[in-house]
Amino acid sequence: MNEMPHILVVDDHREIRAAVTRYLEKNGMRATAAQDAAEMDAKLATGHFDLIVLDVMMPGEDGLSVCRRLSGEGGTPILMLTALGQDTDRIVGLEIGADDYLPKPFNPRELLARIKAILRRAGRSEPLAGRLAGKKVRFAQWVLDSDRRVLIDGTGQETALTGADFKLLTVLLERARLVLSRDQLMDLTAGRRAPPLDRTIDNQISRLRRKIEQDPMQPRLIVTVRNGGYSLAADVEVTDG
């Protein structure tokens, strides 16, 4: 993780908000606070967050409702804060789509550990403006200049990428060696769900291969996993501009 993760803390108690944000910031993270669901929505609309720390008990729309709403969108991971002993709440929370919960009162060190655990597992929540923005990415014989959206080979020769090429390649690079299904790729590149029998991703892969593979007939960088999807088979190294 080259960037500081950005955490949104939603709680109606001023002291808790302040304490938590301060603690997170002391420990290498960005933290932003919101005092209720409405303020949370406003912050979410205008920025990117890697995780939401969400109090269950709040005036207005409560935590469970928020959780249900957000997890439907499949977006940001959620860590719920529950009142002590509310066994039901926390189980329901997990079933609804929270990624974890922590009973209040909690140990700040434990909160931090849990946040890190979720971020480590989630690994994936950044829209590509994040990790690779403005960076050069070296993989196989190529260097991707993600500012200019251009590929450069060893001899300095440049290959132009279209928007879709670039997005797909970026998604693959950020998840090198993982097998990504067509659905996941569709979701990550276009933000939409693929109808059954859709061949859009195959097409896009084919086009990308034509540009980056030495021999597109025998792809070595983007390998096909039958019944699985595609996978980028190379080590990637991210360097600053």
Partner DNA sequence: AAGCAGTTGATACATTCCGCGACAAAACTC
Partner DNA sequence: GAGTTTTGTCGCGGAATGTATCAACTGCTT
- Give the interface with a second copy as residue ranges (CB under 8 A): 77, 87, 90-91, 94-95, 97-100, 107, 109-110, 113-114, 116-118, 120-129, 133-134, 147-150, 160, 162-164, 175, 177-181, 184, 218, 220, 223-226, 231, 233-235, 241
For residues 171 and 180, give the distance between their C-alpha atoms in angstroms, rounded to a whole number: 10
From 27-35, 60-68, 121-129, 191-199, span contacting DNA (CB under 7 A)? 191-199
* Residue 206 binding: pick among DNA, a second copy, none (C-beta 5-8 Å cut-off by kind): DNA
For the four alpha carbons of 26, 31, 34 and 37, in that order, the dihedral sign comes to negative
For residues 28 and 12, give the distance between their C-alpha atoms in angstroms, rounded to a whole number: 24
Closest separation in Å from C-beta 64 to a second copy: 14
Helix (H, G, I), strand (E, B) or coil at 209: helix
Encoded one letter per residue, x for contact with DNA by CB under 7 A and - for no contact, window 127-166 reads: ---------------------------------x-xxxx-
Confirm if 115 and 102 have CB atoms less than 8 A apart. Answer: no
Q: Which is nearer to DNA, 67 or 144 (CB)?
A: 144
The DSSP element (H or E) to which 166 belongs, if any, is: helix 163-174
Long-range contacts of 112-116 (CB under 8 A, 24+ apart): 112/23, 112/24, 112/27, 114/79, 115/5, 115/7, 115/24, 115/29, 115/51, 115/53, 115/79
Closest separation in Å from C-beta 199 to DNA: 4
Q: Which residue in 10, 98, 209, 231 binds DNA (CB under 7 A)?
A: 209
The reply to whether 235 sits near DNA by the rule CB under 7 A is no
Angle between helices 63-72 and 37-46 (to 10 degrees): 30
Encoded one letter per residue, x for contact with DNA by CB under 7 A and - for no contact, window 213-232 reads: ---xx-x----xxxxxx---
Confirm if 90 and 101 have CB atoms less than 8 A apart. Answer: yes
The reply to whether 196 sits near DNA by the rule CB under 7 A is no
For residues 132 and 171, give the distance between their C-alpha atoms in angstroms, rounded to a whole number: 10
Q: Which residue in 205, 212, 232, 236 binds DNA (CB under 7 A)?
A: 205
The reply to whether 202 sits near DNA by the rule CB under 7 A is yes
Q: Enumerate binding residues for DNA (CB under 7 A).
A: 160, 162-165, 182, 190, 195, 198-200, 202-207, 209-210, 216-217, 219, 224-229
